[in-house]
């Protein structure tokens, strides 16, 4: 039998196959948070921000400073590419929106407004 490679080695091998994306970083943070049993208040204390902001930033909804990204990278043993992606501005789209509507400020996806008695509008997201 052969030894299994560590998750870091597997991640680095995968990075050679394709560039890391922000969703990959989010998935990695969520997995390592679960594996370590960390709580958002503990992580927030290390980052120096509120637990709500820290959770949003770690899950890809906010942009971190270099210092904050490095703290998260150290805590979760993230590769250098992941730390750089944490510092990038989030890209918001409605690609996964089930309603096919434009996202409203801070509300995410919302159903299209229709006149009473008219059929619902079902359009695929573009």
pLDDT of 106 reads 52
This prediction has a pTM of: 0.60
Averaged confidence pLDDT in the chain? 77
In contact, 27 and 14? CB cutoff 8 Å: no
DSSP string, 6-42: PHHHHHHHHHHHS---HHHHHHHHHHHHHHHT--HHH
For the chain, domain boundaries: 14-86, 94-126
Look up the CATH superfamily of 14-86. Answer: lambda repressor-like DNA-binding domains (1.10.260.40)
In contact, 68 and 18? CB cutoff 8 Å: no
Q: Which of 29-33, 75-79, 121-125 has the lowest average pLDDT?
A: 121-125
pLDDT tens by residue, 44-100: 999 999 999 999 999 989 999 999 999 999 999 999 999 999 998 887 655 554 444
């Amino acid at each position: 039998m052969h030894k299994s490679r560590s998750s870091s080695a597997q991640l680095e091998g995968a990075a050679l196959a394709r560039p890391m994306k922000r969703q990959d970083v989010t998935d990695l943070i969520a997995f390592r948070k679960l594996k370590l049993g960390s709580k958002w208040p503990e992580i927030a204390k290390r980052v120096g921000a509120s637990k709500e902001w820290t959770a949003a930033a770690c899950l890809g909804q906010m942009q971190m400073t270099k210092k904050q990204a490095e703290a998260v990278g150290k805590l979760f043993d993230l590769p250098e590419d992941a730390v750089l992606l944490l510092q990038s501005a989030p890209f918001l789209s409605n690609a996964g929106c089930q309603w096919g509507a434009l996202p409203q400020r801070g509300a995410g996806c919302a159903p299209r407004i229709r006149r009473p008695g008219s059929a619902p509008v079902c359009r695929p997201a573009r």
